[in-house]
Amino acid sequence: MIIVTGGAGFIGSNLIASLNQMGRTNILVVDNLEKGDKFLNLRNLHFADYLDKREFRQALLGDRYKNIPFSAIFHQGACSDTMEYNGLYMMDNNYSYSKDLFHFAVAKKIPFVYASSAATYGSSTTFAEHPDNEKPLNIYGYSKLLFDRYVQRNITNARSTVVGLRYFNVYGPRENHKGRMASMVHQLHAQIQQTGHARLFTGSGGYGDGEQRRDFIHALDVARINIKLADYPSPIQGIFNIGTGISRSFNAIVENLYKAMERPPEKTNYIPMPEGLAAKFQNYTQADIAILRSIPGLSFEPMTLEQGIAAFVQAKKEGL
């Protein structure tokens, strides 16, 4: 059986969809469906069982799973709200919970692939996996960084795969539930659909209007690399960046959305960045994926922004 925490969420549900395409359905989905409409992400997916994240944690700590032969754990569950300021909640949910799952996986020698984040780099302008570049700007980024460091200190005791993936700007289907935390691709698509034009921030950090740049990667590419690493023929351990390795502007997203939506481009409205956001806004990210690509036999060729947005728009037409 495979465990997917955060399985009803954005990346988790795309991961389950990818597993299903491979014929793999013996999956335990762990999430919290107390609020919102994340359950919609699960309607067309196939899995063996669902468990609330609190009940799952109790079962884990109570050793109820000691005799179940899990083949992989994909730990995607976390609070990813960068505007969440409750440090007590964030550290328990993202850090302590992750430690519990890490120790379980290592003790049982189960491949453990978990979601870290490019938010660990924060204000840095260099995005290689090195402590000198780790400068988180919020408690979310710090909670991810602290767990990465915990894993790095304890990974020498592992005899199985333990991999942390620092996701850059992920977009794709199945993020309708995310609200203000949805990707800019999702938000700009909705703006164009509803108003006919897009809204972007005016220039900041030395970049012109809408020219702030990020490394945008499609959720299905993220899902595929999760599975490849869990299925790797020998134990693999480390923290790896997951992006395309190419930085693109927000203006480029708008341009490609109009093209994929087959709509004539309209003038983009540029609005001032809110004062509270400016100090925490990453004006530029670009994943250094050299270490990931150095893994022998691991092919990783993510979609271009043009290909990814075309796939995104098609998925929207299909109701995802």
Told to judge if 99 belongs to the known catalytic residues of this protein, a careful annotator would answer no
Distance CA 184, CA 253 (A): 8
CB 245 within 8 A of CB 288: yes
Please identify which of the residues 178, 228, 259, 280 carries the catalytic annotation.
178
Told to judge if 178 belongs to the known catalytic residues of this protein, a careful annotator would answer yes
Q: Hey, what are 253's tokens?
A: 């997203």
- Three-state SS string over 102-159 comes to HHHHHHHCCCEEEEEEHHHCCCCCCCCCCHHHCCCCCHHHHHHHHHHHHHHHHHHHCC
Distance CA 121, CA 110 (A): 28
Distance CA 40, CA 238 (A): 33
Question: CA nearest 31: which of 12, 48, 17?
Answer: 12
Distance CA 136, CA 123 (A): 7
Please identify which of the residues 97, 140, 142, 171 carries the catalytic annotation.
140
Q: Hey, what are 230's tokens?
A: 């869990």
Q: In sequence order, what are the beta bridge partners of 74?
A: 4, 113
Distance CA 134, CA 252 (A): 28
Active site residues: 140, 178
